[in-house]
A and B are shown apart, each in its own frame.
Chain A
Amino acid sequence: AQKITQTQPGMFVQEKEAVTLDCTYDTSDPSYGLFWYKQPSSGEMIFLIYQGSYDQQNATEGRYSLNFQKARKSANLVISASQLGDSAMYFCAMTKGRRALTFGSGTRLQVQP
């Protein structure tokens, strides 16, 4: 069974600073995918970034980067230069193949001016 753990219920960050959101996972499968989604107060889930278990390099998408440490089974999201619009819930998720996503409980990020 797959499991995602997000140990930070809430985080604060000052505007323009970087922030790291933690995610650890557990799986016995050698092949899997790791995702981060953002959920603003409006409710829609917005895809941010993906990391495959066999990818050699950490994924990056604009201001988002994924710090993938396979041996530690961690997939932390780093947001650089935080903006007020980054305030939202952030979910780490994983999947095997093209099956459904398993989500963590999320981290609420609040960006302060």
Chain B
Amino acid sequence: DTGVSQDPRHKITKRGQNVTFRCDPISEHNRLYWYRQTLGQGPEFLTYFQNEAQLEKSRLLSDRFSAERPKGSFSTLEIQRTEQGDSAMYLCASSALDRLSYNEQFFGPGTRLTVL
């Protein structure tokens, strides 16, 4: 399978614990995006990388959230001191910077986080 993969698919944690999610983009894609989707809503942008550089962060990304893409390949999203409001689906997407047409983003299956 050469699509975007995310791990784990599901995570249940207790309030106050730290969690880390991983995203592996399509191998030749330069850009990697993180989104958060709560029940009944569309995905909301969190942050994105071009290669290893984090180019933009949403206001949704509080100081408890940190994302990295150390070698321009896979990315991790860490949430510290989780709160019940962090319960959501965390989606990763990737796209190829050198596409001449448009920025089609390919999404992974998501990580569903439940904070008890």
Contacts and interface: CB of A to CB of B under 8 A. Distances in A.
Contacts of A45: 43, 91, 93, 107
B69 to A, nearest CB: 15
Contacts of A43: 89, 109-110, 112
Contact residue range for chain A? 20 to 34
Given A91-B42, A93-B42, A99 B56 contact: yes
Given A93-B42, A105-B41, A106-B42, A100 B56 contact: yes
A25 interface: no
B42 A104 contact: yes
B103 A105 contact: no
Contacts of B33: 100-101
Contacts of B110: 43-44
A67 interface: no
Given A44-B110, A45-B91, A91-B42, A101 B56 contact: no
B110 to A, nearest CB: 5
B28 interface: no
Contacts, number: 60
Nearest to B104: A47
Contact residue range for chain B? 20 to 34
Contacts of A105: 40-42
Contacts of B35: 100-101
B95 A98 contact: yes
B85 to A, nearest CB: 18
Interface string A98-113: 1111111110000000
B31 A44 contact: no
Interface of A: 4, 33, 35, 37, 42-47, 50, 52, 91, 93, 95, 97-106
Interface of B: 31, 33, 35, 40-45, 48, 56, 58, 89, 91, 93, 95, 97, 102-110, 112
